Structure 1
Amino acid sequence: MTFTRFLKGAALAIMIGVSSVAMVASAGFAQTVDAPMPPAAKPDPNAPVAEPEEEIINLLDREPEPLFSDILAPYAPATAATHGVSNGLRQGALYLMAKLTQDSTPLDDGLIWRIYSETTNSDGRLELVATSEGGDAEFRLDPGTYLIHTAYGFAQATNRIVIGKEVLSKMVTLNAGGIKFNASLKDGDNINHEPISFDVYGMTFDARGERDKIASNVKPGSIIRLSANTYHVVSRYGDVNAVVRADIQVLPGKLTEATVLHKAADITLKLVNERGGEAIANTTWSVLSPGGDIVVEATGAFPDFVLAAGEYEAIARNNGRTYLQKFEVSSGDDNEVEVVTTTSELASQQGTSSN
């Protein structure tokens, strides 16, 4: 029986009871009174005035008092109590729903609910009482104070609630949105198939001057859910120096599509005896910036790197000899850089003798 039906039934019972009393009184009056009643005595004007009786409040006409500021639709348990009458009297029922914004519809999937007791255990940690995944959730809990943790991707909210032996319902507004990540080169084409990843950081710094990392190694085309805020996003193309940073704002209830423009290319190095010749194995490589800083090092016949656009110098070492080759990287122009032993060795020897 729902709460509304219970109240209607109670009202009907009250009305029937009053009618029955009235009928009995009328019957009694007809049996015991044979003559008209004498007129009542004239009231004394000097008698003290009696205090008016307290007005009777009809509970059926009162507006229900909200349990929370964000009221849900009427709640009814999905199933009847399965733990017996004593359990139903001992525990309260908590029904939870969540939505992205005040104006959006409730979420029906992707939610993780965690209920913690407000008191800590012997280890000083909050005790996890119950969990649920999916959309809305229903919990049966002993009376007490609890913390409700709601997670939708990386968007989170924590609320405190006091539960008795009644039925409570609560809507959690996450105030969240999302970001969809993409990356492109100079021609504007997305490069989802390339080794590109995204890391998401908060905007504040800790005591060590580092940002709080929220999500890491997010792949292009992925959508992550975040609380509405501004985030620092770092996109890496390869593992060397092709890095782009940007601050991106997430709006509540909105999906922000963030496309990062990379200026870089994939470069393969080869040490050969002549142009177009076979690569020489067992070669050690160093790639330097124009200022002489080491950008990346590797060993092998065909080292392959993604490098940011700019000028570089390749140093190849093989069989005790060193060979040099300057080259340039243009955005989106994947290329193979050959270091030829004859010309490079002669230039190296001339540079050494001049010193």
Structure 2
Amino acid sequence: MTGGVIRLFLGLAATAFLAAAPVLAIAQEFAPSGGAPAVGLDLPSFSSFAPAVDPGAPLALTTGGEITLSAKLTEEGADISRGLVWRVFGQAAGPDGKLPLIASAQGGTAVFNLAPGGYLVHASYGRAGATKRISVGRENKSESLVLDAGGLKLDATLAGGVRIPPAKLKFSIYEAEPDAGSERALIIPDVSPNSVVRLNSGTYHIVSTYGSVNAVIRSDIRIEAGKLTEATVEHHAAELTLKLVREAGGEAIADTSWSVLSSSGDPVREVVGAFASLVLAEGDYTIIAKNKDRIYQRDFTVVGGRNQDVEVLATEANAVIDMEGAD
């Protein structure tokens, strides 16, 4: 089979939190589909990124049968050669109610020497994982786990395909559906653009945030086993620099505090500084500047993809409150 990726382009309005549908999708096999992780096992909660035991320590307390463990993305796929974290648990809970960790290893295929008996084996590959119950005897044997997992790479642009600076862009990955009466469970926060995240196959809810105010896009994306999904969302937003000036094109006045209100009058953001930079979603706003005992305001429309300086003139025409004259 030939390798490949799934590419999705999601065009969305920045002021609405709507599930997005792909505009463009191209899919090829990255590895053959199929397989599913072991299900129906009642396991304690443990982190996919818990540190392994000391590599110099023995993998088991008692010499017994040798077992070789391997994992793959799909039933017909090749064994994963690196990036795995293996954990072997005993089946009897300890005094704390948790299953004891017997041995662990990192890398690809792992070999353990375990005392005869039953164990639970968990393989983690990024945030993808699978668990399997195994039985160890005196004879050497092999076991394989199918992760049923794929990869996800996320990015975002402005209208017209303009790239967003990576430092101002982040993603969060949530479960697709919230539990009854609760919010969606957060799986991975603060994912950097163009980084590959490994996940079990299924649908996930993705939140893309440009800046730190209200430029937010939400979409649902499906991950297929053995495939890399590349998804790009489009933000309708712009980066603005606010300046209070005495005349058009003049120097910015220091010690100015700013309030940004939505078209309905709701507070959006407050910031302090002669040059106040922020990213806002496309729409209409009222900008209020306070300097010493005077307050000035200006109505302004943000156009997606049009970054610019916004000047508020410190004139009588724009002054709305004289604090010294107020009761």
TM range (shorter): 0.7 to 0.9
- Partner amino acid for 2:86? W
- Deviation string 1:85-140 (CA, Å, 9 cap, x unpaired) is xx99x511110111111121111011110111111222111111111111100001
The match for 1:120 is: 93
Select 1:335's aligned residue among 282, 304, 308: 308
- Kindly report which structure 2 residues correspond to 1:291-306, keeping only aligned pairs within 5 A, or say none: 291-306=264-279
Identity %: 47
SS at match of 1:288: strand
1:144 Cα offset (Å): 1.8
Are 1:110 and 1:134, in contact at CA under 8 Å, matched by a contact in 2? yes
Select 2:107's aligned residue among 117, 120, 134: 134
1:328 Cα offset (Å): 1.1
1:320 Cα offset (Å): 1.6
1:250 Cα offset (Å): 0.3
Q: Does 1:271 align with 2:271?
A: no
Larger Cα-atom Rg = 1
Distance 2:132 2:316 in 1: 72
1:349 Cα offset (Å): 6.1
Select 1:200's aligned residue among 170, 173, 183: 173
Distance 1:292 1:349 in 2: 17
- Kindly report which structure 2 residues correspond to 1:190-269, keeping only aligned pairs within 5 A, or say none: 190-206=163-179, 208-269=181-242
- Deviation string 1:274-293 (CA, Å, 9 cap, x unpaired) is 11111111111100000000
Deviates more, 1:247-256 or 1:180-189: 180-189
- Partner amino acid for 2:312? V
Unaligned runs of 5+ in 1: 1-82
1:204 Cα offset (Å): 2.7
- Deviation string 1:52-108 (CA, Å, 9 cap, x unpaired) is xxxxxxxxxxxxxxxxxxxxxxxxxxxxxxx9xxx99x5111101111111211110
TM-score by length of 1: 0.71
Greater percentage in helix: 1
Are 1:183 and 1:192, in contact at CA under 8 Å, matched by a contact in 2? no
- Deviation string 1:34-63 (CA, Å, 9 cap, x unpaired) is xxxxxxxxxxxxxxxxxxxxxxxxxxxxxx
SS at match of 2:315: helix
- Deviation string 1:155-182 (CA, Å, 9 cap, x unpaired) is 1101111212221201111111011111
Distance 1:317 1:165 in 2: 79
Q: Does 1:103 align with 2:97?
A: no
SS at match of 1:119: coil
1:246 Cα offset (Å): 0.3
- Deviation string 1:250-297 (CA, Å, 9 cap, x unpaired) is 011111110011111101111111111111111111000000000000
Distance 1:96 1:284 in 2: 61
Backbone CA RMSD of aligned residues: 1.9
Unaligned runs of 5+ in 2: 1-57
Distance 1:102 1:200 in 2: 26
- Deviation string 1:202-253 (CA, Å, 9 cap, x unpaired) is 1232355211111111111111011010000000001000000000000111
Are 2:203 and 2:222, in contact at CA under 8 Å, matched by a contact in 1? yes
The match for 2:133 is: 160
Are 1:196 and 1:220, in contact at CA under 8 Å, matched by a contact in 2? yes
SS at match of 2:166: coil
Distance 1:324 1:344 in 2: 9
- Kindly report which structure 2 residues correspond to 1:179-190, keeping only aligned pairs within 5 A, or say none: 179-190=152-163
**Which structure's relative contact order is higher, taking Cα pairs within 8 Å and 6+ residues apart?**
2
Are 1:325 and 1:344, in contact at CA under 8 Å, matched by a contact in 2? no
- Partner amino acid for 1:116? F
